Structure 1
Amino acid sequence: MSRRRPWLRIFLTGLVLWVASVIVTAWTLNPNLVPTVVLLGSFLVPVTFVAWAYGQGRSHAVTVERMFVAFVVGGVLGVLGASLLESWLVRPSIVMYLLVGLIEEAAKLAALMVVTRHAAKRSIRDGVVLGATVGFGFAAFESAGYAFNALFTAHGLSLSQLVETEVLRGILTPVGHGLWTAIAGGALFAAGGRLTGPVLLTYLGVSVLHALWDSMSAIAIAITLVLTGRPWQFAELRIGRVPDVTAWQVHVYTVVTWSGFVVISLVALAWLWATLVRDRHRRQMSSQ
């Protein structure tokens, strides 16, 4: 099976190496191995999905060289651009998550435009693949930062928190940055690489999905309080205190949070599917 599916071989090999790195690091307490754990855990899922996307169909625009540039250069440019803009523009407020979504999606879309500026032929499918590649590159470098920060706690270095962070982000990565930028990339290539009205509307749409994803914890807290809040909890909130929560509220919060993630993911996947269907219809009409 793995011979016919190179992406599966990449995933299984990387997973074995990551698990071995975690075990040896925990056994020896050698801090020099921490970067290995961080990099393998952060890049495993993004690289696997890029390899899978490459195998779905090749074209003049989607080459190994261009995908490598899109993943590394596009990912780094996106992370750097987003970091700069967020440090200048984002402050704690009710629109903070929307600003983050707008900034990060703009940074990734700009990075995609830079790394594909010399592409002669552009199909929607090519835009989806290269957009996803930029998005997964962004996710890989961002996840490495989150994993590194998770290592440091008030009680010293915590390998368990690092591993938990990488596992959670690895599970969520396929329906996050890569998916959103794939949708934006399809719209960009459908417009010939130009920032047209449909491209800007698509950018705004994926930015809203991004913002909803990032704010899902806060949304879940609000919904949980509306559904199960007690009078004494609202009284605590009115005087600026954080109230204690019940075990039932913890369960409700968890269900609402993950339900929100599922709904957002399904909306984005349906959007991507519609984009690919439109590309197939366009190619069928052009071949007639």
Structure 2
Amino acid sequence: MSSSPNLLDSATAQLNSWTGQRRKVPIQLGSMFSQVFKTHTEAEAETLFIGGTEKTTPTLATVSDSPVQPWLFTRVLTVFGLTIAILAGSLFIFNGEKMYNGLIFMSALAVPFSLLIMFFEINTFRNISIFKVTKIFMVGGVASVLTTMGLYQFVNIQNMTIVAAILVAIIEETGKLVIIAYYVKRTQARFILNGLLIGAAIGAGFAAFETAGYAQDYGLWVLLLRAIDSLGTHTMWGAISGAALVMVKGAHPLAANTFQDGRFVRFFALAVSLHALWDMPLPLPSLLKSGILIAVAWVIVLVLINAGLREIRELREGKLT
């Protein structure tokens, strides 16, 4: 019983050292998601959604560095759930065949887009609007799939072996990184929480469009499986890469040496490794392997969120430019 906390503390301390602080990061999911179970008004939701415009972006002095407590994403997930239930009822009870494609797409969107809203809430700078986030999710998501397809032209993968899993992970995470870098440069993102959001948007778009494609090949049952898997796959991997990229870049222009920085390389390698392990035919029960990898992805993201909040405090104190 005592070894688990020590292992977790050691892991968060090591990860946190890559962000510039040598101390453990407490993992307090109960506190983080405590607002989920409280009553919130539509006005509160609208206040969150209008952030990020020219007139609603707060100054650094008013940006909160308190522990994040997202809640709106669960309401978005509830709306998706209700919509999916209606579509499924129309399809299976009334034989509404025209609802089939709608059911696929809404099911593919549900978890990735809801997770994206969570990262939108976590970006306490409130400097990227929901309109921009949605554009990055849609256009960036499709572009990352297209980039990945282009990279796949250089390899020939027939069966999912260990080597093939590594190649797939490198190709797909690189494909997403190309588009993440484009939007980091385009939006002039300079804060870790910005990078976390942009990376999550690209990853969520990739996940949604990929899942819709799988459903066409394997049927509706795969939608539930991939919805659960989405809790710790492309959205989280993209968030890790995006946060690491902006953490290294800071307020400077994006340059080639940004991608060579050891801090970025370590976190990007983690994203690639998680992806590769997810696809590898390992001698572990599928549910156990997925659970472990989802948990690890969340720990990494929580450490990066902590680094993002610390960045706010350091900017206020003048420790960063």
Same fold per TM (> 0.5)?
yes
8 A contact 2:119–2:196 mirrored in 1: no
- 1:219 equivalent in alignment to 2:282: yes
1:169-227 per-residue CA deviation (whole Å, 9 max, x = no partner) reads 11110211011111111110012243232323322221111010111xx212xx6xxxx
Within 2, Cα distance between the matches of 1:56 and 1:208? 25
**Structure 2: stretches of 5+ with no match in the other structure:** 1-38, 45-70
Within 1, Cα distance between the matches of 2:307 and 2:73? 26
8 A contact 1:90–1:100 mirrored in 2: no
8 A contact 1:61–1:121 mirrored in 2: no
- 1:144 equivalent in alignment to 2:212: yes
Aligned partner of 2:242: which letter?
A: G
The corresponding residue for 2:134 is 68
Aligned partner of 1:267: which letter?
A: V
The corresponding residue for 1:191 is 248
- 1:90 equivalent in alignment to 2:156: yes
Aligned partner of 1:172: which letter?
A: D
- For 2:184, which of 88, 105, 116 is the aligned residue? 116
8 A contact 2:168–2:276 mirrored in 1: yes
8 A contact 2:123–2:197 mirrored in 1: no
The corresponding residue for 2:24 is none
Query: 1:80 and 1:30, CA in 2 relative to 1: closer, same or farther beyond 3 A?
Result: same
The corresponding residue for 1:264 is 293
Query: 1:61 and 1:195, CA in 2 relative to 1: closer, same or farther beyond 3 A?
Result: farther
8 A contact 1:62–1:130 mirrored in 2: no
Moved more, 76-85 or 182-191: 76-85
Matches within 5 A, 1:161-176: 162=220, 164-176=221-233
Aligned partner of 2:264: which letter?
A: V
The corresponding residue for 1:202 is 267
**Structure 1: stretches of 5+ with no match in the other structure:** 152-161, 224-255
Aligned partner of 1:180: which letter?
A: W
8 A contact 1:2–1:9 mirrored in 2: no
8 A contact 1:66–1:115 mirrored in 2: no
Within 2, Cα distance between the matches of 1:87 and 1:2? 49
Normalised by the length of structure 2, the TM-score is: 0.70
Between the aligned residues of both structures, percent identity stands at 23
Within 2, Cα distance between the matches of 1:112 and 1:121? 11
Within 2, Cα distance between the matches of 1:2 and 1:145? 36
Query: 1:169 and 1:120, CA in 2 relative to 1: closer, same or farther beyond 3 A?
Result: same
1:46-96 per-residue CA deviation (whole Å, 9 max, x = no partner) reads 221222221233436422232112201111011111123224313235410
Aligned partner of 2:276: which letter?
A: A
Aligned partner of 2:298: which letter?
A: L
The structure having more radius of gyration, on CA atoms, is 1
- For 2:109, which of 28, 43, 46 is the aligned residue? 43
Within 2, Cα distance between the matches of 1:94 and 1:40? 33
Normalised by the length of structure 1, the TM-score is: 0.77
Within 2, Cα distance between the matches of 1:121 and 1:203? 18
The corresponding residue for 1:250 is none
Within 1, Cα distance between the matches of 2:242 and 2:103? 31
Query: 1:118 and 1:73, CA in 2 relative to 1: closer, same or farther beyond 3 A?
Result: same
Aligned partner of 2:277: which letter?
A: L
Within 2, Cα distance between the matches of 1:94 and 1:175? 20
Moved more, 134-143 or 65-74: 65-74
Aligned residues: 241
Query: 1:61 and 1:200, CA in 2 relative to 1: closer, same or farther beyond 3 A?
Result: farther
| Superposition deviation, residue 262 in structure 1 | 1.9
